[in-house]
Structure 1
Amino acid sequence: MRRLLFSVSASLCLAMGTGCATAPAPVSDARPLASPAPTPTATGRGGAAATVDVRATAAAIELLASGGNAVDAAVAAASVLGVTDPYSCGIGGGGFLVAYIAKDKRVVTLDHRETAPRALERSRLYEDGAPIPFDAFVTSGLSVGVPGSPLGWSEALRLYGSRPLSDVLQPAIRVAEHGFDVDATFFEQTRRNASRFRDFTSSAALYLGPDGQPWPVGTTVRNPDLARTYGLVARDGLDAFYRGEIARAIVDTVTRPPVTPGASRVVRPGVMTLEDLAAYETVVRPPVTSTYRGYTLYGMGVPSSGGLTLALTFNLLEAYAPDAMSRADFLHRYLEASRLAFADRNAFLGDPAFVSVPEAGLLSRDYAASRRSALDVSRASTTAAAPGNPLPFQGGTHAAPTPLSQVERPATEERVLNKETTHITTADAAGNIVTYTCTIEGEGGNGMVVPGYGFLLNNEMTDFDLPASPEAPHPNAPAPGKRPRSSMSPLLVFKDGEPVLALGSPGGSTIITTVGQTLINHLDFGMPIDQALAAPRVSQRNSPDEKSQAEPGFIASPEAAALAALGHSFTDAGPLGALTAIRFNPDGTVTAAAEPIRRGGGSAMVVEPVKR
């Protein structure tokens, strides 16, 4: 559990004391007070929230209890996470938000994914005819996309919220001013990034002690620079970030990285300009809509690959009845369906402004029936699956797609499994719902804190695929102004027009399989939502070695042994994902649920608790 402490009254108000005006420091006389006792599951009425962090969840509940709606609550939680979970998300990143607007009975999605700077030609990411090595790419100015979170938060509130951004940012400002106490999870995240942080003056000053080591567990860390940044946005609006002093500081950091004198790391500068920031736009997109066993699923469309990949997986899986076979036999079909869906994801999905995505074909039931012929119900595949051909199912006859060139190296999301990104789920008394995944990409982003402004920049450009040569075709190859493909999978589940479940997870490309397996656990195996998200996980993403990645608890299970007899093999991946969810119960209550253990555990709260 994120047990970093802050001031919260019995009514869950985040009324903080006076902020510290000095640099982040250990213990002071303005120590945070005790937070509510964190719990991963809560049932009640009047609104609910679940996040990875107790302060972020309490900020959402504060907004809900004071009359705000689910959108207000989600943005409040996200901005607090930018303080307390800064290696996963923040104002320097982006995300995808899916919301149900109850008064209109409609689902909307807001894309505020980061974009490539207009001068980021693909050739810039190659040296000596080969892609820049990942480790050099990620910690560089070249990896930074134009941030989308500030405009995404503002637009979500303008279109669907009830409070202005200036009000909704206040809990985060108080937390940044007053500070939080380092817990074991935050310490470990800092330790994994310490060598990068030492190489940047601003990052070392914020997240490392005078000895260049992470602040010890129990140290109070404050971030007055981020409090000031949020304050500037609250006072001056989005121009402060996208056209004003913050924009100038971002461009200066990207193009002239604040490298520590004497550092041996070669840090490539980026090409972002003030014009890139001023031109950034969010996009309201239609949700990806599919059905599964009488449920309607609403997901995020491209450039997120989550909605379409999950829809195809479940279209393939729906032909098999879970109550007619053993759990292992059903999981075999799920893993093989996921393998096929990922083959299509990798072949066809990218930013729709740059790629013609065959969405109708991929969602077609007839395509799923045709694609199912490649699924062997008796044995696991011994080779990576080839993509299918959804084009004839678009409404006309088309030639088979041109085979794509082999990608030289895996995308970042394949390298970093569960140590980045975060998910927020909120609901209010009026029936509005938000499922929101936000990120700065890899843990710690590109490693650079913007000097004087207290936030890390993203490394989202590493989410593009780099083919072996700059000329090779690929739907997710970088291009100026393009949004990299994502696996973020915020999802809403309805039945007969009524909400059943909202959920999502971090975890790179394992996000898709984490959400998928949780749905199987809940909808097919009948597990209560808290058990469904806590159960051991397995992930098949059409990996070249044909193996599925799995948690130790799954590898030790009877189902894994039965799957091994069918030819499956597993790689120990450690924890997969860190899901949050809200279940809408038949009696009118809701159950908010967060991970009990993964990533240190999460926090779930409701406005009016009831006993179950």
Structure 2
Amino acid sequence: MFHLRFCTRLLWGSALLMQSFGLITVAQAAGQQDPESATGIQHKQQVRARQFMVVSANPYASEAGYQMLQLGGTAVDAAVAMQLVLGLVEPQSSGIGGGLFMLAWQDKTKQLHTLDGRETAPAAATPDWFVQDGKLLDWPQAFVGGKAVGTPGVIAALAQAQQKFGKLRWEQLFAPAIALAEQGFKVSPRLHMLLSGSRHPGLQRFANSRDYFYPDGKPLPVGFVRKNPAYAALLRSIAKDGPQAFYQGDNAKAIISAVNQATINPGQMTDADLQSYQPVWRDPICAPYREVKVCGMAPPSSGSIAVLQMLGILNHFELKTLKPESVAAVHLISQASRLAFADRERYAADPAFSPVPVAGLLAPAYLKQRAAQINLKADNQQITAGVPEGAVPLGEAKALEYANTSHLSVVDKDGNAVSMTTSIENAFGSGLMVNGYLLNNQLTDFSLQARDKGLWVANRVEAGKRPRSSMAPMLVFDQHNQLQMIAGSPGGSRIINYVAQSLVAMIDWQMGPQQAADLAKFTHRNDVLAVEEGTPLVHLPLQEMGYQVRVTELNSGLHLIKRDKAGWLGGADPRREGVAKGQ
């Protein structure tokens, strides 16, 4: 039963909202900020705070979280308000139609809680879910429409987290998003750019999405004040009645209708799929790196395991003596990434369906063995999955994860913290829009191919299963179990590289969070070495070491917080519109 305090009725007149919670300030403060150009990197100042800090992907969301902390709310309270706003102002990346992973640190009890709000496959799903007319769909065919939609987990997860760790009334957390949806928010350069350049077939084919994002047949222009009364109305219902207003009744009917009657790839979602959804509280996974302890999310997140594997491998090398953008640093981090990705492709999946040898993958002896495979002078051309203790024979198959998603980092005045990564997968998800929000396409995070060389693929589609994810929210603690850093990023499977590089920067190279976010990016997913265009990395002699190098845009979105002697430092990735704000 939903907690009684969530069901308290409030008078929700917009004037009352604005007067009670300062929402004129939300709109004005966010509107006064000029989000950076989505096509170029703009310098950002590191933010310092003594009491609390928020960092998120959009000024409106950071302002909402900041206001919750000013009202005496917890880090979880702030995270709820920020997510609800992000789903409105950054709809392409996350929202209540998707899923999340949350790390929630409680400083008084020195306990870390991790919550899996990942989407689930419908009961009708089978390993051949993406086989049509006897032929396996490729990813561009599969991700659009109803078949790609998993049961959303965001609202259920946020409600459980807030009931456990919140202080403010549930209703209060909805106020910023409701007011912005009713009064309107200014369309950002990034949203406009993604709409202008989108090749997502669903945005033009599905009427609700087309009418919302392309009024008069053109993409929403920068600065356009976009209102979303349908989203506001739904949020009012959820604020009043709790998660049941999302998973039952009119909203549930709208989801089912949109999914099952989609004009592209109709799905098979039912009332039971929605009403039976439950988030999962999981034990965190932690591992030592240098003098600190790094913690993250257990499977079905492959992201945290891969980051911890990379760090465990790099523990055998003295990175602090290397320059951050040197050949040696890029080489070692890339080789560690290749080894971690090789293991990821074989073993990472929903542990309820396929045993994941987490302890074996993170065992010091195993990581030492993997580190010994690194050739210090050349790229290793043959990196395959290892055989950690507890492993079973499995096939390998890739699942594409594109460079979207969102991340937020929060620490409150009591030292409680949240690192939360949240997503609807591809930009604009499935393309299906109901009640002012987009539905995810997370089922294409499964391997579309169920078997490989006669063996089952761990990350195949199955009923009720959660797809593998690269989301990697992380927290770092010192030897006294005191929180030191909060990290995470969007970016699809490149999240692993972005987060690992930022942790190395803050730990080995003693960088502040803004410096770490600013660093030139490079990624290696055991395929090619991608280096960020327009950076010094382009000129490194990496091809001479045997690397296949690809110069490209690497659109990380790191949101980082680091403790210092005076309080907290916050940094937001200059490649996106995020801002840090603290007091």
**Size of the alignment, in residue pairs?**
554
Query: 1:195 Cα deviation (Å)?
Result: 4.6
> Taking structure 2 as the reference length, what is the TM-score of the superposition?
0.91
Contact 1:48 1:428 in 2 (8 A): yes
The answer as to 2:580 corresponding to 1:604 is yes
Question: C-alpha offsets along residues 47-101 of structure 1, whole Å, 9 cap, x if unaligned?
Answer: 1101111110000000000100111001110110011001101110010000110
- Give the structure 1 partner of residue 23 of structure 2: 15
The answer as to 2:204 corresponding to 1:198 is yes
Runs of 4+ in structure 1 over 6 Å off: 9-12, 31-34
- Give the structure 1 partner of residue 116 of structure 2: 111
- Which residue among 462, 471, 477 is the counterpart of 1:494? 477
Shift of the 33–538 alpha-carbon distance from structure 1 to 2, 3 Å rule, reads: closer
The answer as to 2:529 corresponding to 1:548 is yes
**Structure 2 CA distance, aligned partners of 1:272 and 1:472?**
29
- Give the structure 2 partner of residue 466 of structure 1: 448
3-state DSSP of counterpart to 2:384:
coil
Query: 1:16 Cα deviation (Å)?
Result: 4.0
- Which residue among 384, 387, 392 is the counterpart of 2:385? 387
Shift of the 14–473 alpha-carbon distance from structure 1 to 2, 3 Å rule, reads: farther
The answer as to 2:235 corresponding to 1:227 is no
Could you list the runs of 5+ residues in structure 2 that have no partner in the other structure?
Answer: 1-14, 35-43
Question: C-alpha offsets along residues 550-608 of structure 1, whole Å, 9 cap, x if unaligned?
Answer: 211446455x22x3332223212302311101111123x11111112x13x3111002x
Shift of the 294–342 alpha-carbon distance from structure 1 to 2, 3 Å rule, reads: same
Shift of the 34–314 alpha-carbon distance from structure 1 to 2, 3 Å rule, reads: closer
Shift of the 352–65 alpha-carbon distance from structure 1 to 2, 3 Å rule, reads: same
Which amino acid is the alignment partner of residue 431 of structure 1?
A: G
Shift of the 555–272 alpha-carbon distance from structure 1 to 2, 3 Å rule, reads: farther
Contact 1:555 1:572 in 2 (8 A): no
Query: 1:164 Cα deviation (Å)?
Result: 3.4
User: What does 1:136-535 align with in structure 2 at a 5 Å threshold?
Assistant: 136-193=141-198, 195-210=201-216, 212-257=217-262, 259=263, 267-324=264-321, 327-383=326-382, 385-391=383-389, 394=390, 401-402=392-393, 404-405=395-396, 407=397, 410-413=398-401, 416=402, 418=403, 420-450=404-434, 453-467=435-449, 472-496=455-479, 497-535=481-519
Shift of the 236–425 alpha-carbon distance from structure 1 to 2, 3 Å rule, reads: same
Shift of the 133–567 alpha-carbon distance from structure 1 to 2, 3 Å rule, reads: closer
Identity of aligned residues (%): 33
Which amino acid is the alignment partner of residue 305 of structure 1?
A: S
- Give the structure 1 partner of residue 104 of structure 2: 99
**Structure 2 CA distance, aligned partners of 1:325 and 1:82?**
40
Contact 1:36 1:54 in 2 (8 A): no
> Taking structure 1 as the reference length, what is the TM-score of the superposition?
0.86
**Structure 2 CA distance, aligned partners of 1:403 and 1:93?**
29
Shift of the 504–37 alpha-carbon distance from structure 1 to 2, 3 Å rule, reads: same
- Give the structure 2 partner of residue 26 of structure 1: none
Query: 1:169 Cα deviation (Å)?
Result: 1.0
Contact 2:560 2:571 in 1 (8 A): yes
Query: 1:324 Cα deviation (Å)?
Result: 4.8
**Structure 2 CA distance, aligned partners of 1:371 and 1:441?**
31
3-state DSSP of counterpart to 2:456:
coil
Contact 2:533 2:551 in 1 (8 A): yes
Shift of the 526–34 alpha-carbon distance from structure 1 to 2, 3 Å rule, reads: closer
Question: C-alpha offsets along residues 384-425 of structure 1, whole Å, 9 cap, x if unaligned?
Answer: x1110102xx5xxxxx743515x3xx4221xx2x2x110001
3-state DSSP of counterpart to 2:438:
coil
**Structure 2 CA distance, aligned partners of 1:183 and 1:145?**
28
3-state DSSP of counterpart to 1:583:
strand
Question: C-alpha offsets along residues 404-448 of structure 1, whole Å, 9 cap, x if unaligned?
Answer: 15x3xx4221xx2x2x11000111110001110001110000001
Query: 1:233 Cα deviation (Å)?
Result: 0.5
3-state DSSP of counterpart to 1:505:
coil
Which amino acid is the alignment partner of residue 501 of structure 2?
A: Q
Shift of the 403–82 alpha-carbon distance from structure 1 to 2, 3 Å rule, reads: closer
Could you list the runs of 5+ residues in structure 1 that have no partner in the other structure?
Answer: 1-6, 18-30, 260-266, 395-399, 608-612
CA RMSD of aligned residues (A): 2.4
Shift of the 325–69 alpha-carbon distance from structure 1 to 2, 3 Å rule, reads: closer
Contact 1:49 1:425 in 2 (8 A): yes
**Structure 2 CA distance, aligned partners of 1:277 and 1:292?**
40
**Structure 1 CA distance, aligned partners of 2:191 and 2:320?**
43
**Structure 2 CA distance, aligned partners of 1:530 and 1:132?**
42
Shift of the 289–88 alpha-carbon distance from structure 1 to 2, 3 Å rule, reads: same
- Give the structure 1 partner of residue 3 of structure 2: none
Question: C-alpha offsets along residues 333-392 of structure 1, whole Å, 9 cap, x if unaligned?
Answer: 221111011101111110000011111111100111222232212211224x1110102x
